[in-house]
Amino acid sequence: MIGTGGAGLPDLPRREPYRTWWGSLIVVAAILVLVGTLVLVDDHTSGAEPIAPGTTIEVGQGVTYVPADGWSLIREGTTPGSRSQVAGQGATFSVNVGEWDGTAAAEVERTKRSITADRSIRLTGDESSFHSAGGLTGVALSYAGPHLRGRAWVVVDERADLSVVAYGPSAVETYQRTAGQVDEMLDSVRMTGARP
């Protein structure tokens, strides 16, 4: 039998309350407010950068284009050396460049799968060939979804093992208004052949 004194184990000292929970609560609240504010600001801050009229953008692998006046470069949609994206008036235009060791037909099929990966988007009409004022020749695709309409253009330089795919999606209500600007940007795409 263990007693409360005497020859047994000594009694443990009584624990005193620390009374620091108010300070801890204030620190936790300050951290939550700070993190919440930063997340909110980040979510509502676009990486869009205005582009001076006539600026030529180097996408990569010797591929360039000129954005439409009033459009902005989208940093989140841009990967130096392989992808560039601009936006304006409810539409975007992106140019993707990459090494491609396949046929043009295989790249067209890959682009179709990429477009229709979102099950709500479907290809509309048949693929057609195109030739741009900038000298690109390839296949044009059209697609639509519940909230967008768009076109894609696929070009493959089989001698250089290079693929260029441009996308021009737009909100349904702005599609007609932005189609001309998207066409101008497509016409400005050049493949100069200057590769790193």
User: In the chain, where does DSSP find H-type helix?
Assistant: 21-43, 104-115, 175-188
Label residue 46 by pLDDT band (50, 70, 90): low
Query: Average pLDDT of the chain?
Result: 89
For the segment 68-76, the average pLDDT, to the nearest whole number, is 94
For residue 16, give the 3-state DSSP assignment.
coil
CB 149 within 8 A of CB 85: no
Q: Give the pLDDT confidence score for residue 13 in this predicted structure.
A: 77
| Rounded percentage of the chain residues whose pLDDT exceeds 70 | 90
Backbone angles phi, psi at 43, to 5 degrees: -65, -25
For the ranges 6-15, 136-145, 182-191, the lowest mean pLDDT is seen at 6-15
Residue type at 164 in one-letter notation: V
CA dihedral 164, 170, 174, 180 (to 10 degrees): 10
Q: Which of the four pLDDT bands, split at 50, 70 and 90, describes residue 20?
A: confident
Residue 51 has pLDDT above 70, yes or no: yes
- Stated as kind and residue range, the H or E segment containing 63 is strand 63-65
Mean pLDDT of 16-41: 78
Sign for the pseudo-dihedral over CA of 56, 58, 64, 67? negative
User: pLDDT digit string (tens) for 161-170?
Assistant: 999 999 999 9
Band the pLDDT of 5: cuts 50, 70, 90: low
The model's pLDDT over 74-126, given as tens digits with 9 standing for 90+, comes to: 999 999 999 999 999 999 999 999 999 999 999 999 999 999 999 999 999 89
Superfamily of 48-191 according to CATH = Mog1/PsbP, alpha/beta/alpha sandwich (3.40.1000.10)
Provide the residue ranges of all domains of the chain, joining segments of one domain with +.
Answer: 48-191
Q: Classify the phi-psi angles of 99: left when phi > 0, otherwise alpha if psi is within -120 to 50, otherwise beta.
A: beta
Give CA separation, 189 vs 49, 64, 84, 107, 159, in Å: 20, 6, 12, 18, 19
Report the pLDDT value the prediction gives residue 6, as an integer from 0 to 100: 55
Cα Rg for the chain, rounded, in angstroms?
Answer: 29
User: pLDDT class for 35, splitting at 50, 70, 90?
Assistant: confident
Q: Is the pLDDT of residue 38 over 90?
A: no
